[in-house]
Structure 1
Amino acid sequence: MSVRLVVRTFSELCITAGALIILFVVYFLFWTGVKAADAAEGEIDTLQSQWAREPVAQAPPPGSAETSPSKDPDPAPVPYRAGKPFAMMHIPRFGAGWEWPVLENTAVGTLKKGLGHYSGTARPGDTGNFAVAGHRRTYGDPFKDFPKLRPGDAVVVNDGTTWFTYRIAKKPYRTVPTDTAVVDPVPRGSGFEGAGRYLTLTTCEPEWGSSHRLIAWAHLDATRPVSDGRPPELSG
């Protein structure tokens, strides 16, 4: 085999490898985003149709007649369905149009369609820790700007009847994926003391890796019936 043939063959292999790498990068940077946007839009449509057809019962405020000891306790809420949406999340810090569906569980397939609720953690507005995960990069990059979160930022959740406004307590915290205490009812390292209504957001760190996790904690600041319109944090 001549040197010229070897060089030509090697060059062709390099060109082919380069083309494959470019296609791979395009797939992760562009195509997964397109797929995620379509999937998230479909989940949002499903959720809105569900709310229009079967509105979620709104809980009465604490101390009202409906919650007095003489009344029968409310039935247990219907469990969330695995991989199905049950709420919408808005984070104004990430842009006026930032909204993503929140689905039940954090399975790989679920996180391709939106944000994932850690099964077993609290529901929005309930006592405990409502914990949610999302991709930092790929599949729509929902938490691309996660490091920009600052104390006082609003995280607004809509479950079909109520707007729940949480406030970020501190800048994002870096930890390892095995640190499951960050989603405890009173998350370790959050600075929270005792039972409360908390929110935990998690995503990958570094931006294009997964060796660590970034965590942001928040506490419930306000609630507002959906019938009263959007909260002021979203009316800008």
Structure 2
Amino acid sequence: MSVRLIVRTFSELCITVGALIILFVVYVLFWTGVKAAGATEGQIDGLQDRWARGAVSAPAPAVSPSPSTDAPASTASAPPTPVAYPEGKAFAMLYIPRLGKGWQWPILENTEVRTLQKGLGHYRGTASLGATGNFAVAGHRRTYGDPFKDFPRLRPGDAVIVTDGATWFTYRIDKKPYRTVPSDTGVIDPVPRKSGFDGPGRYLTLTTCDPEWGSSHRLIAWAHLDATQPVTDGRPAAFHS
């Protein structure tokens, strides 16, 4: 085989590999976002349609506002059995003003791969929205719309607002995001480990991957339920705080 043929073959191989890499990068950075946008809009439209017809996934427990972020709303009773939300379907909307004025994502039941391609995922078996226990939610850091790209920006006191179509639930972040490993499942316990919470309460946990383009670790943010109000009263003041 001549040197010229070897060089040409190697060059063609490099061009092919380079083209494949470019296609993969386009898929990761662009196409997954396009797919997520369409899927997310479909979930939101479906939710709004159901809510317009008066269909709400779960009853809304009432709670008085906590006096401060250092005093979580709590109860001495054991966590109730979680509501069985429809598998792979959206049942609530989540908003985090800190992450942008237009930041909003549907929450679907379970954290399977295909579910997280449509929005955020509720950890199956964790508490129902607003109930005693730990309402735990996962989302992609990157790809499929990058919902939690700016997760490290979360700070104590930030509002995490969730609605099931009938009630607004305002949670407040208690500490800066905590970094751990994927096997650390205690972070979504009813009283999450390492959270600083020392007893039963109405908690929310957000999880995402770390580093930004990897999955060797997890970033965790914990919050407590601060207040609720009917959707008929308009949006909570927390949207503007």
* Same fold, TM-score > 0.5, yes or no: yes
Q: Does 1:138 align with 2:143?
A: yes
Count the aligned residue pairs. Answer: 224
Post-superposition offset of 1:53? 1.2
What 5-or-longer segments of structure 1 have no aligned partner?
64-75
| C-alpha spacing 1:26/1:154, structure 2 compared with 1 (3 Å) | same
- Alpha-carbon separation, structure 1, partners of 2:127 and 2:168: 16
- Alpha-carbon separation, structure 1, partners of 2:52 and 2:201: 31
- Per the alignment, residue 216 of structure 2 pairs with 211
- Alpha-carbon separation, structure 2, partners of 1:60 and 1:30: 41
**Structure-to-structure mapping, 1:83-162, within 5 angstroms:** 83-162=88-167
Alignment partner for residue 175 of structure 1, among 169, 172, 180? 180
- Alpha-carbon separation, structure 1, partners of 2:13 and 2:203: 54
| C-alpha spacing 1:232/1:139, structure 2 compared with 1 (3 Å) | same
The superposition leaves residues 104-140 of structure 1 with CA deviations (integer Å, 9 ceiling, x where unpaired) of 0000110000000001111111111000000000111
The superposition leaves residues 64-106 of structure 1 with CA deviations (integer Å, 9 ceiling, x where unpaired) of xxxxxxxxxxxx9862111000000000111000000000000
Give 3-state SS (helix, strand or coil) of 1:164's partner.
Answer: strand
- Alpha-carbon separation, structure 2, partners of 1:62 and 1:222: 6
- Alpha-carbon separation, structure 1, partners of 2:109 and 2:143: 20
Q: Does 1:18 align with 2:18?
A: yes
- Per the alignment, residue 226 of structure 1 pairs with 231
Post-superposition offset of 1:233? 2.4
Post-superposition offset of 1:224? 1.2
- Alpha-carbon separation, structure 1, partners of 2:82 and 2:128: 10
Q: TM-score, normalised by structure 1?
A: 0.91
Q: Match for 2:190: what amino acid?
A: P
| C-alpha spacing 1:55/1:215, structure 2 compared with 1 (3 Å) | same
Q: Match for 1:168: what amino acid?
A: I
Give 3-state SS (helix, strand or coil) of 2:18's partner.
Answer: helix
- Alpha-carbon separation, structure 1, partners of 2:158 and 2:130: 17
Identity of counterpart residues, as a percentage? 77
- Alpha-carbon separation, structure 2, partners of 1:111 and 1:29: 16
Q: TM-score, normalised by structure 2?
A: 0.89
- Per the alignment, residue 193 of structure 1 pairs with 198
Post-superposition offset of 1:61? 4.1
Q: Match for 1:135: what amino acid?
A: H
What 5-or-longer segments of structure 2 have no aligned partner?
65-80
| C-alpha spacing 1:86/1:28, structure 2 compared with 1 (3 Å) | same
**Structure-to-structure mapping, 1:61-100, within 5 angstroms:** 61=62, 79-100=84-105
Post-superposition offset of 1:55? 3.3
Q: Match for 1:109: what amino acid?
A: R
Q: Which has the higher contact order (CA 8 A, sep 6+)?
A: 2
